[in-house]
Structure 1
């Protein structure tokens, strides 16, 4: 049996269909929005890799350092035979966990990008010939199903991607994860923490302008896939702190009054001068609030690792025991 297997939960045309729905819903809303997942075509993925190396962007290097310091603890605490990673990308940081789990049986990378899965496969099959890889090309937003693999299972959701979910979406996501967990399974979350406002905002508005390019790439995706006529230069990249919701928001602000046509949707969209199109929210977290959200989903926080400056945290989570179970 081959050590590599792929399951497709996203049909070949599924991504374009989902894009059409998201663009139609988001651009006809009172406050215009687009989901951040549409940043990530090949160019957007490369831009994000570049962002991760920027001096302003602390989350990636801080999370990598925490994984390096605590991968052995995570492996010992979970005894995982399967590692599932949601939004795995090219699985670069995951290799820190894989190296700490020599007895791991199966790795399950889940990502919408087939090219990222393929790139990860080539490296992992070379470095871990003993490891079975069951890749899932699909979305990790509910409802979703993970393949049946040996337990205990550790599900990793890194990069503070959970912060891109709005509170209601986050609750639905955690409930979906909990519904698939056996009593011996665990969840590992990477979470960006509330800190100095300037430091948080600067991570999304770098001096080199790479994040601005990344933000505007969503317009290039819509132009290409839906034959739209967005002019990226007609929008300014904006990053700001929303203290009411404790999140950084990325927006594209229209420089002038303009009209955008999207023929594939038979849609005409008017933008007023100074009008914002919100493209990403990135919630920042506090430990006690995280414990409360997990409790509602039926899970318990068992380990909370932070860096010396308390910029970022890794949270290890297990199902809350059912007191009525026998």
Structure 2
């Protein structure tokens, strides 16, 4: 699928509606349609409905990353807990439903505090309530925030080591430059502790294709929910039937790309601005970069971490890397 670099055909009025101008989502959506190639951050997938759909994706038979990562955490929980140490404060970036951290909590000695950070406040609060119920001695302090931006956290208590947890290969959603910037920010936030990072590995293209084009169409619904969210929150009028979910493996760049492809030539109205999409033209919604262990170690060192042990699932499809700050 080729995304044209030609100028945008736009019929513009001087201003957009307040809803589009006053929210980060609205401003970024306007920006996405104002340039080519058209692309928007995948963080906007995760409203309450998007988070619910992503939880369903994690249970799909084709979607191996969640099962593989749980296998790694389950098989090697004792070794991982030994590296992290006792009396830790865990900061989870992009915590979502907070399910994987349970495997760590069950193995750790005297975990002191858990700070889950996620952009979807409603989903996060529900997950935090479940953790408080199941781990009554754990201090759970959720933080609704964009974890890709600079974070200001209170200093850990004396004798408490702060460690980060970034599972799900979410690091692969960043561009290489963004990944390095995030890792450098994490190294500062976690100074004196470390980061436990989950990463999906390079593998056969057919396995990757199936994982992002599931037979039940849940990933397609997750992708299209970005437009549905815009309709709900910003008052746009996207016709979801006019777009197709498109996901494919870009082998030279070692990444899955997800797009929303226009099924026909159509006009999209955002507030008082109108944009023309040709048949086949896309909005690029997500990348999912795949890694090699060597590439992960290099990223860690460039960000200021010291790479430690790395653990794999049986098929070596997924890994969890410990790195010290």
**TM-score of the aligned structures, taking structure 1 as reference length:** 0.89
Q: Which runs of 5+ in 1 are unaligned?
A: 1-12, 320-326
Aligned residue runs from structure 1 range 88-237, under 5 A = 88-150=95-157, 151-183=160-192, 185-237=193-245
Q: How many residues align?
A: 303
Match of 2:27 among 21, 45, 65: 21
Structure 2 residue matching 1:240: 3-state secondary structure:
strand
CA distance in 2, matches of 1:299, 1:50: 34
Q: CA deviation at 1:141?
A: 0.5
Q: CA deviation at 1:16?
A: 6.6
**8 Å CA contact retained: 2:180, 2:303:** yes
Secondary structure in 1 aligned to 2:291? Answer: coil
CA contact (8 A) 1:160 1:190 kept: yes
Q: Secondary structure at the match of 1:143?
A: coil
Q: Deviations over 1:273-321 (max 9, x none)?
A: 11111111000000111111111111121111111211100010112xx
Within 2, Cα distance between the matches of 1:126 and 1:139? Answer: 26
For the 8 Å contact 1:57–1:204, the answer to whether it is kept is: yes
Distance 2:107 2:211 in 1: 30
What is the match of residue 4 of structure 1? Answer: none
Q: Which runs of 5+ in 2 are unaligned?
A: 1-18
Supply the distance in 1 between the matched residues of 2:286 and 2:201 (Cα, whole angstroms).
17
1:75, CA displacement in angstroms? Answer: 1.4
Among 250, 263, 276, which residue is 1:255 paired with? 263
Counterpart-to-counterpart distance in 1, 2:118 and 2:126 = 12
Cα deviation, 1:196-247, whole Å, max 9, x if unaligned, reads: 0110121000111111111100000111111111111111111111122110
Shift of residue 52, structure 1, vs aligned partner? 0.9
Q: In 1, Cα distance between the equivalents of 2:131 and 2:54?
A: 22
Partners of 1:239 and 1:300 in 2: CA distance: 35
1:239 paired residue among 238, 247, 253: 247
Cα separation, 2, equivalents of 1:58 and 1:149: 35
Pick which of 79-88 and 188-197 moved more.
79-88
> Over aligned residues, Cα RMSD in angstroms?
1.6
Answer whether contact 1:23 1:34 (CA < 8 A) is retained: yes
- The CA distance in 2 between the partners of 1:104 and 1:215, in whole Å, is 36
Mapped to 2, the partners of 1:272 and 1:188 lie a distance apart of 43
SS for the counterpart of 1:107 is strand
Is the 1:171–1:293 Cα contact (8 Å) retained in structure 2?
Answer: yes
Is 1:32 the counterpart of 2:38 in the alignment?
yes
